């Protein structure tokens, strides 16, 4: 373990430091971290809004507080792309010695300009569709905020494009007037982009980006190997800030179809036809994406840096209920080369163990009705036990311990790096 950790420090840390010096990647990482107060604060309400115990969830609904809790989630975690559209551009401009607030506002406005503003139907409604503001819009928000940030910084260096007012004008007023010409140029550019997509078969830039990623997955089928590769790909993209919902939504209808088809066989006490696929699907993520609950326990036991000691204390509860955005964007895992390998490897490990458990006859059944109706916030160890019996719990525990062993050396490298940064700041 020590030799492996030394090798990681020798290979990954220099690479991580080099990436950390890149202004674009720094801005993305810093912008993601800035959303942490929103994601952690809202994650508690997310648990209660989709409470895993039906009786409690029904009681919340009966007293009428579920819509208010859902509103908190919709106004925070479900529109995360909106915050990212501002924070990344803000950080890029700040690192470029430009006005971060103005850059962030231009980026945010551009994001809303590109977002479809009509919800189709028999009676179309003039409104923003929340899915584009959340998981389906994150990749667009990242790309757009960097492009707007770069564009704004370059234009602001051209003195001919800034309006200078006399010194007698209050600074608040002059700083607001200065970028007017730059704003017009940016909005004209965004208008052209929107118009191009309006006339394209895709309709908007969001559907173009999502179809570009997900269309190839529509033709891959539903074998266990395919499921493993799809979830591994979604975890890979998550390390770049692209939410896995955009990828996994392609495969979910196929899995639901397998569950529906398997229900009669289960009710008749027969071996269900898609047992391999459904068990692999159940363990594609042993808990939240990347099996980060294992990382949480590793950090709580072995962390030496103040940063990780405190951070993992407050992010452990949401992660237990499969909400790991605080860790993904707060640690962060996003654009963190040290965490790439274990995060992506998690799907291969947990799915591989699950498939082996079926092949050797350890897991012999799966309740598809419970699988379809299980709340997503139910801790996986409980849902696996309800759907697959004690065997499901046993496989979950094996995967949990394996992922702890895999995360341990990588976390120690990250923790050592954080500890050295803290010590250098104290000196």
Bridge partners, residue 126, by sequence:
118
Are residues 162 and 241 both part of a single domain? no
Q: What angle do CA 124, 129, 133 make, to 5 degrees?
A: 160
DSSP 3-state assignment of 122?
Answer: coil
Beta-carbon contacts of residue 132 (< 8 Å; ≥ 6 apart): 81, 115, 116, 206
Are residues 176 and 255 both part of a single domain? no
Residue with tokens 């809202």: 42
- Cβ contact 73:46 at 8 Å: yes
Domain end, chosen from 179, 197, 213, is at 213
Domain end, chosen from 213, 241, 268, is at 213
Helices (H), 199-244: 205-214, 224-238
Are residues 178 and 114 both part of a single domain? yes
Does a structural domain hold residue 199?
yes
Residue with tokens 């890029």: 92
Domain carrying residue 411: 220-426
Domain end, chosen from 159, 178, 213, is at 213
Does a structural domain hold residue 369?
yes
Distance CA 363, CA 275 (A): 9
Lowest mean pLDDT among 164-173, 191-200, 233-242, 259-268: 164-173
Residue 221 has pLDDT above 60, yes or no: no
Does a structural domain hold residue 327?
yes
Are residues 351 and 245 both part of a single domain? yes
Does a structural domain hold residue 1?
no
Q: Does an H or E element contain 303, and which?
A: none
Number of domains forming the structure of the chain = 2
- Residue 304's pLDDT band, with cuts at 50, 70 and 90, is very high
Are residues 290 and 379 both part of a single domain? yes
Are residues 147 and 177 both part of a single domain? yes
**pLDDT tens digits for range 339-361:** 888 999 999 999 999 999 999 99
Are residues 205 and 137 both part of a single domain? yes
**pLDDT tens digits for range 46-95:** 878 877 777 888 888 889 888 888 888 888 888 888 999 999 999 999 99
Are residues 129 and 233 both part of a single domain? no
Are residues 314 and 279 both part of a single domain? yes
Does a structural domain hold residue 360?
yes
Does a structural domain hold residue 370?
yes
Does a structural domain hold residue 6?
no
Q: What is the pLDDT of residue 145?
A: 94
Are residues 186 and 225 both part of a single domain? no
Distance CA 400, CA 379 (A): 13
Are residues 171 and 235 both part of a single domain? no
Q: In angstroms, how far is CA 126 from the centroid of its own chain?
A: 28
Distance CA 343, CA 347 (A): 8
- Cβ contact 4:329 at 8 Å: no
Cβ neighbours around 130 below 10 Å, total: 15
DSSP string covering 389-427: THHHHHHHHHHHHHHHHHHHHHHHHHHHHHHHHHHHHH-
Are residues 205 and 245 both part of a single domain? no
- Residue 121's pLDDT band, with cuts at 50, 70 and 90, is confident
Does a structural domain hold residue 33?
no
Stretch 157-181: mean pLDDT: 74
């Amino acid at each position: 373990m020590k030799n492996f950790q030394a090798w990681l420090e020798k290979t990954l840390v220099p690479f991580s430091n080099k990436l950390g010096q890149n202004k674009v990647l720094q801005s993305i990482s810093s912008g993601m971290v800035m959303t942490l107060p929103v994601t952690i604060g809202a994650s508690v309400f997310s648990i209660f809004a989709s409470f895993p115990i039906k009786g409690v969830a029904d009681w919340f609904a009966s007293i009428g507080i579920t819509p208010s809790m859902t509103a908190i989630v919709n106004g925070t975690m479900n529109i995360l792309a909106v915050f990212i559209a501002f924070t990344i551009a803000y950080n890029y401009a700040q690192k470029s010695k430009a006005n971060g607030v103005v850059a962030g506002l231009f980026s945010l406005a551009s994001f809303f300009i590109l977002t479809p503003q009509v919800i189709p139907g028999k009676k179309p409604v003039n409104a923003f569709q929340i899915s584009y503001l959340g998981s389906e819009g994150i990749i667009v928000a990242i790309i757009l905020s960097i492009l707007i940030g770069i564009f704004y910084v370059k234009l602001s260096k051209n003195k001919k494009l800034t309006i200078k007012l006399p010194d007698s004008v209050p600074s608040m007023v002059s700083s607001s007037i200065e970028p007017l010409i730059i704003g017009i140029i940016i909005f004209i550019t965004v208008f052209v982009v929107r118009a191009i997509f309006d006339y394209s078969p895709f309709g908007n830039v969001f559907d173009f980006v999502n179809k570009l990623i997900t269309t190839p997955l529509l033709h891959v089928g539903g074998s266990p190997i395919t499921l493993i590769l799809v979830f591994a790909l979604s975890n890979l993209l998550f390390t770049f800030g692209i939410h896995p919902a955009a990828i996994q939504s392609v495969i979910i209808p196929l899995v639901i179809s397998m569950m529906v088809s398997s229900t009669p066989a289960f009710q008749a006490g027969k071996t269900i036809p898609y047992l391999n696929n459904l068990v692999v699907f159940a363990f594609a993520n042993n808990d939240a994406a990347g099996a980060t609950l294992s990382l949480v326990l590793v950090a709580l036991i072995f962390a030496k840096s103040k940063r990780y000691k405190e951070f993992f204390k407050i992010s452990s509860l949401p992660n237990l209920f499969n909400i790991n955005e605080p860790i993904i964007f707060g640690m962060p895992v996003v654009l963190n080369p040290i965490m790439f390998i274990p995060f992506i490897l998690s799907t291969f490990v947990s799915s591989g163990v699950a498939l082996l458990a079926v092949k050797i006859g350890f897991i012999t059944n799966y309740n598809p009705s419970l699988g379809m109706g299980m709340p997503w916030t139910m801790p996986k160890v409980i849902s696996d036990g309800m759907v697959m019996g004690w065997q499901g719990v046993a496989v979950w525990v094996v995967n949990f311990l394996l992922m702890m062993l895999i995360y341990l050396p990588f976390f120690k490298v990250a923790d050592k790096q954080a500890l050295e940064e803290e010590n250098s700041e104290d000196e």
